[in-house]
Structure 1
Amino acid sequence: MDTPNIKDWISAARFRTLPLALSSIIMGAFLAVHSNIFRWPVFSLACLTTILLQVLSNFANDYGDTQNGADSVDRVGPARAVQSGRISTQQMFKAIIFMAMLSIISGVSLIYIAFGGFSKLFWLFFGIGILSIAAAYSYTAGKRPYGYLGLGDISVFLFFGLLGVIGSYFLYSSSFDIMVIWPAIACGALATGVLNINNLRDIDTDGNAGKITIPVRLGRHKTLIYHWSLLLLAIVCTVLFLKDIENFRYYFLISFVLILLNGFQVSKSKNPDPYLKTLALTSLVFVILLGISII
């Protein structure tokens, strides 16, 4: 096999997934600005660590889905680097190890600066970081990938929602504030919606490969109901969050229109793949507009 070129690695990194991955970090930053505790070094390192973890996750997904048969010539979405032969399994595994090492270095730097040394909070977040790396790898790779058991939605909701928003806010505050729960749930619901579109698109090939995702379990009709539930959950949680915020502005309503539009588009489309990217971008727009509305 020829040595992969830079375009192959860029394709495998799937940079289009970064806006969604960064949404929870940016939400946490907006909440920190609202509370007057924002710090640029924490935000910068949080973004870097998130990017590294997301690329690690994308490499592991490419590697694992090819090994387990979910990525095949019958796949509807974009061709994967390992499945198409542009990058070998050995090369991808080495890249996964490399990204894991970079993630640890960046993550340790982040929590050291956030908490001012090796405190109890440092070791707590270090453990969460190791768990994040393990979750990114074992989603589709390994002997029993949990993504093949229909648990991917729970993982995305936790890491892109609850842990992403609450955890990033905690890096600024070193304390828990109950107000951050609602935007955390909203971000998690939208991120899970993105995964749901991905799994709805791949419902046939996933089923044939034994990857029992939510759409494979529920079927198309019930999956669309599930998708609408996620979108509406994000809207309801936003309203619940804002009822305790004084003097907010109404820019966030634009994102509600985009969220609802995605629901209609996915419901009417036989191939929802184009709306995966739009919901990911909508999630980022939602975070930015909500953030601007409260500061």
Structure 2
Amino acid sequence: MSKTKAWLNAARLRTLPLSLSGIIVGTALAGFYGYINYVIFVLALMTTIGFQVTSNFANDYGDGVKGTDNEDRIGPKRALQSGLLTREELKFGIVLSIIINVLLVLVLVFVAFGIQNYGYIILFLVLGAASIWAAIKYTVGTSAYGYRGLGDLFVFLFFGLLGVLGCMFLYTKFITADSLLPAITIGLLSVGVLNLNNLRDSLSDKKVGKNTLVVQMGFQNGKRYHYTLLLLAFITMGGFIFLNFVNWTSTIPLLGFVPIFVHMRKVSVTQDHILLDPELKKLALSTFLLAVLFYFSFNIFS
């Protein structure tokens, strides 16, 4: 495999639609309240992609160094695990992606707030630094929070609340109470993708001491937790639609839950861990579809 393909492998491009979902929903909320800025939209997308790539590089490195990615692992082979990239190369990739992220955050906040809003600039620089920290510390280091069952909380906060509401604030400079609902929806579905990953890897994770929530609660309870996440996501999105109902087009986002509920049925009847792997892509793409439908419903058709 060429180095280019090796880096693309480490970047895990299939994870990008999920990370973009929060930006799309945040942009949709801003548009719903009358704020549109395509420069902010493009910069926010690029910044989110940068954070996700950094997270994927760091995850590959952290799990590879700790031995979590080994012959027992069910999912796709990782770059460090399979020898496609060395530790030094991955470290370089992490550092380079962090530098790019910092530059993107700086450009984004100055475009969004100008040079006069120092408070907002400082706040979002701190949030950007926190996002980079969270991307790295998921698996890297002795205190990696992903090994202590805290991954779900951080994904909910950064993919859901911060991703959606932070993006909306870049446009509007305010947040409304009901905008919390779609932010919670995206957060819950993002946690669902992580939980599905942890369900798939629960046997190998337990062997190496990666104490995800699924390892702590067990496989069957992990599946019940999964159903709860998806149902709560449906309820919160339904709540936003109810509060902001105009006509039938307001209900369009609910179509995004059709493949999600089909996915939930598949998980319920699946006992073989390896058969859960294709479901990650389905749930991530379904979340992306939901985000796109939300944008069209509350911007194009509203």
Q: Deviations over 1:167-199 (max 9, x none)?
A: 000000111211210000000000000000101
Calculate the TM-score normalised by the size of structure 1: 0.97
Corresponding position of 2:180: 181
Identity %: 42
Structure 1 CA distance for aligned equivalents of residues 159 and 144 of structure 2: 19
8 Å CA contact retained: 2:185, 2:234? yes
Structure 2 CA distance for aligned equivalents of residues 70 and 4 of structure 1: 25
Q: Which runs of 5+ in 2 are unaligned?
A: none
Corresponding position of 1:256: 257
Structure 1 CA distance for aligned equivalents of residues 33 and 178 of structure 2: 11
Corresponding position of 2:56: 58
Corresponding position of 2:218: 219
8 Å CA contact retained: 1:19, 1:284? yes
Q: Deviations over 1:136-159 (max 9, x none)?
A: 001001121000000000010011
Q: How does 1:107-126 map to 2 (within 5 A)?
A: 107-117=105-115, 119-126=118-125
Structure 2 CA distance for aligned equivalents of residues 38 and 211 of structure 1: 43
Q: How does 1:229-268 map to 2 (within 5 A)?
A: 229-248=228-247, 249=249, 250-268=251-269
State which drifts further: 231-240 or 259-268: 259-268
Shift in Å, 1:290: 2.0
Shift in Å, 1:256: 1.8
Q: How does 1:83-98 map to 2 (within 5 A)?
A: 83-98=81-96
Structure 2 CA distance for aligned equivalents of residues 123 and 4 of structure 1: 41
Corresponding position of 1:24: 22
8 Å CA contact retained: 2:238, 2:254? no
Matched residue SS, 1:272: helix
Q: Which runs of 5+ in 1 are unaligned?
A: none
Structure 2 CA distance for aligned equivalents of residues 221 and 246 of structure 1: 37
Moved over 4 A (4+): none
Calculate the TM-score normalised by the size of structure 2: 0.95
Q: How does 1:1-295 map to 2 (within 5 A)?
A: 5-117=3-115, 119-248=118-247, 249=249, 250-269=251-270, 270=272, 271-295=275-299
Structure 2 CA distance for aligned equivalents of residues 119 and 4 of structure 1: 45
Aligned-residue Cα RMSD (Å) equals: 1.2
8 Å CA contact retained: 1:161, 1:186? yes
Structure 1 CA distance for aligned equivalents of residues 293 and 25 of structure 2: 10
8 Å CA contact retained: 1:4, 1:87? no
Matched residue SS, 1:72: coil
8 Å CA contact retained: 2:257, 2:286? no
Q: Deviations over 1:202-241 (max 9, x none)?
A: 0011111100001101111101110000000110001111
Shift in Å, 1:246: 3.5
Shift in Å, 1:4: 5.9
